[in-house]
């Protein structure tokens, strides 16, 4: 079982102005595989808060996988990729490349996601889009292969 956190990043959801449907979609997908959801948090689009949560998940809770959703678009408040870059040690460009490539076959809007993926310690961090459909399709594009990557990261035998 991999230990997972889901972090929804949304000003409107954090203020109670909108329901966090995207986070619940991500949660339902994660439950289908050998993942144990340890944390589920909802915060506004604040870079320092995003960094603090990711660092806590990686360094204190020692989780295996952190899935963020939201803050990957073009608005001034969309800062999730930048906050993530500030705290990861290695980028994993193949994951967002795969998400965008596979999702481009569904919608051309996939090219507008700026999400990244990277490693901090022994934790894989992946930014998903904030839209329900975008998060679902992106995660479905990579979910099957994540256990292999996590096993490598955790140095488990194959």
Domain ranges of the chain: 2-153
How far are the Cα atoms of 28, 35, 86, 142 from residue 75, in angstroms, in the given order? Answer: 28, 32, 19, 26
SS3 state at 22: helix
Band of residue 145 on the pLDDT scale cut at 50, 70, 90: very high
17 vs 20: CA distance, rounded Å: 10
Q: Is the pLDDT of residue 157 over 80?
A: no
Q: Is the pLDDT of residue 105 over 60?
A: yes
Q: Which helix (H) or strand (E) holds 43?
A: strand 35-43
Q: What pLDDT is stored for residue 156 in this prediction?
A: 86
Band of residue 152 on the pLDDT scale cut at 50, 70, 90: very high
pLDDT tens for each residue of 60-81: 999 999 999 999 999 999 999 9
Domain 2-153 has CATH 3.50.50.60: no
pLDDT tens for each residue of 77-97: 999 999 999 999 999 999 999
Q: Is the pLDDT of residue 158 over 60?
A: no
How far are the Cα atoms of 34, 38, 68, 118 from residue 81, in angstroms, in the given order? Answer: 27, 22, 10, 10
pLDDT tens for each residue of 25-37: 999 999 988 999 9
Q: Is the pLDDT of residue 21 over 60?
A: yes
Contact 134, 69 (CB under 8 A): no
SS3 state at 64: coil
SS3 state at 124: strand
């Amino acid at each position: 079982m991999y230990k997972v956190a889901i972090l929804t990043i949304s000003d409107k959801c954090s203020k109670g102005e909108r329901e966090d449907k995207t986070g619940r979609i991500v949660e339902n997908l994660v439950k289908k595989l050998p993942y144990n959801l340890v944390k589920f948090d909802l915060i506004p689009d604040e870079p320092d808060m995003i960094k603090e949560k990711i660092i806590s998940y990686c360094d204190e809770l020692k989780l295996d996988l952190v899935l963020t959703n939201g803050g990957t678009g073009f608005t001034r408040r969309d800062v999730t990729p930048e906050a993530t870059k500030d705290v990861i040690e290695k980028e994993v460009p193949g994951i967002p490349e795969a998400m965008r490539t596979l999702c481009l076959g569904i919608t051309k809007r996939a090219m507008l996601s700026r999400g990244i993926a990277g490693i901090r310690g022994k934790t894989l961090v992946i930014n998903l889009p904030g839209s329900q459909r975008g998060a679902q399709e992106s995660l479905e594009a990579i979910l099957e292969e994540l256990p292999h990557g996590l096993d490598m990261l955790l140095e488990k035998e194959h």
